[in-house]
Chains A and B, each alone.
Chain A
Amino acid sequence: MSDIDLVPEKIRSLWPPVILMLLSAAFTAWAQRYGDTPRLMPTLAGVATTVLALLDLLSRFDNRLGAGLRLALGADFRNREMTHDPAVAREAGQIGWMVACVVAMLVIGILPAIPLFITLYMRFWGRQPWIPSLIAAFVVLGFVSVVFEVLLDYTLYRGVLFDPKGFHAW
């Protein structure tokens, strides 16, 4: 079949629908622990999604059934939203930076984390020169502190290390 060959192997792999099918099946099973009223809607949604994910799985096979499902259910990949295809290592790196930003905000607080993350990200992931990186970092820090801390008198999170309440604030 030609329509499926244009899409990178990674995207049309069988794994996404398999994982989604397992997730929705697990959710359905989990819902059965609750009473009649609270489980009714979750069960309906869970079962329906499991069936849909199964159809998604079948539509990815390169046979007549798959092609038929792709046509009938609009399961092809003609209008992909994200068209570039970065390498997995780069994706992991990018997501890693994002996670590091959240961790920094939670540990040392939002205000120090902002300039730290912006500077380091721009310098080392974005390969920007030091000066613009520092300028961007402190412009954002200034904006956030003026708007929240000064104008609105709001205390931004100080981080587990500096918040007197520590983990209790969570």
Chain B
Amino acid sequence: MRNRFIRSLTVAAAALVACTGIASAEWPEKPITFVVPYSPGGGFDAYVRAVAPEMEKILGTEVVVENIPGAGGQKGASTVYRSDPDGYTIGIWNVPGLTVPQLLGKSTGYDLTDVTWIGNLATSNYALAVKADSPFNSLKELCSQGKPFKHSDTGPASTSSVTARVAMTLIDCPIQNVTGYKGSTDTIIGLMRGEVDATIKPLAQLLKYRKSGDVKILMTFEETRSAEDIPTSTELGYPDFANFDLRRIVGGPPGIPADIQEKLSAALLQAADAPSVQEWAASSNNALDPVGAEEASAIMQRLMDFYGSYKDVLAQ
């Protein structure tokens, strides 16, 4: 274990030497900081801690995971955004968790349109679930019960709340969001307690509760089936629903030189393919969906436009 104080002194010295220009040929020549905008022990943290050791091996430099929690992930995001674009600070971003505040003008210190995207690490699809013994068997039944159906959520800005509200607006389905649950698991417990009629949550998480016989999944929000026996939204005639997902996407401050961006992106993809990471993903049920820099940037642009067209719904 190296003493970080000495290390940060050398880092400071190196920064002084290198401040005239970024010597990208020898990159990387110092440790890389990988920012997680949440406290240790969460999903984003686990993903980063799984790939960081592999990236370390590939890049040949230390990759330090730093948790900067606060303001719903915005504190960490703005820290990454404001850091020097030398490739030594990158972070993992929650999309659309960070997209929506930006669209509503409630974000501080970052702008997703000019972040240097390095790659997508994972994508979670959503699914609609009801209690195992619920009388409802389809979205249509939920929508046509004569009053808004109750949906459980953590807060109006959460990704699943955004998904639920925008999706239901698309098909003119009345919905009442019961917010304030302490976490996404808690929203499922709320569903099981019978406090709400249905909930829209990441499919992987709901599958666990289906396995234990607690919930019934009515449909997934995707184009092709990932679970054999659950119909997709596209099949059921809601083609737009496949746009909704939760992305764990890696990016750095605006203006990282293209060659460094490429190196980082390659390292991220290679790390995601490493046996140790694959094994972790399989056993912990945390699916990976590695996508390179170029495609990630395109996805971000598409999502920005998509959510941007529902600004008025989001503002409610």
A interface residue numbers (CB < 8 A to B): 111, 149-150, 153-155, 158, 162, 164-165, 168-169
Other-chain contact of A149, B4, B11, B15 (Cβ < 8 Å): B4
**In the bound complex, what is the Cα–Cα distance between A158 and B4 (angstroms)?**
11
Please, how many angstroms separate the alpha-carbon atoms of A25 and B312 in the complex?
Answer: 35
Chain B positions near chain A (C-beta within 8 angstroms): 1, 3-5, 8, 11-12, 15, 79, 82-83
12 contacts between A and B (CB under 8 A): A149-B3, A149-B4, A149-B5, A150-B1, A153-B1, A155-B4, A155-B5, A158-B8, A162-B12, A164-B11, A164-B15, A165-B83
| Smallest Cβ-Cβ distance to A155: which chain B residue | B4
Interface residue SS majority, chain B: helix
Q: Verify A168–B4 contact, CB threshold 8 A.
A: no
Bound CA–CA A67/B82 (angstroms): 61
Q: Which residues on the A side are within 8 Å of B8 (C-beta)?
A: 155, 158, 164
CA distance in complex: A81, B85 (Å) = 55
Across-interface contacts of A155 in B (CB, < 8 A) = 4-5, 8
Q: Which residues of B contact A154 (CB under 8 A)?
A: 4
Assuming the A-B contacts A164-B11, A164-B15, A168-B79, are A111 and B4 also in contact, with contact meaning beta carbons closer than 8 angstroms in the complex? no
**B179 smallest CB distance to A (angstroms):** 9
Which residue of chain A lies nearest to B2 when distances are taken between CB atoms in the complex? A153
A169 / chain B contacts, CB cutoff of 8 Å:
79
Q: Which residue of B lies closest to A153 (CB)?
A: B1
- Distance from A47 Cβ to chain B, minimum over Cβ atoms (Å): 23
Enumerate chain B residues within 8 angstroms of A164, measured Cβ to Cβ: 8, 11-12, 15
The answer, among A150, A162, A165, A168, for a CB contact under 8 Å with B3, is: A150
Could you tell me the distance in whole angstroms from the C-beta of B168 to the nearest C-beta in chain A? 20
Q: How far is the CB of A64 from chain B (nearest CB, A)?
A: 47
Q: Which of A153, A162, A165 contacts B4 (CB 8 A)?
A: A153
Chain A, residue nearest B68 (CB)? A169
Bound-state Cα–Cα, A38 to B79, Å: 29
CA A111 – CA B4 in complex, angstroms?
13
- Give Cα A154 to B2, complex, Å: 11
For the complex, give the distance between the alpha carbons of A154 and B11 in Å.
16
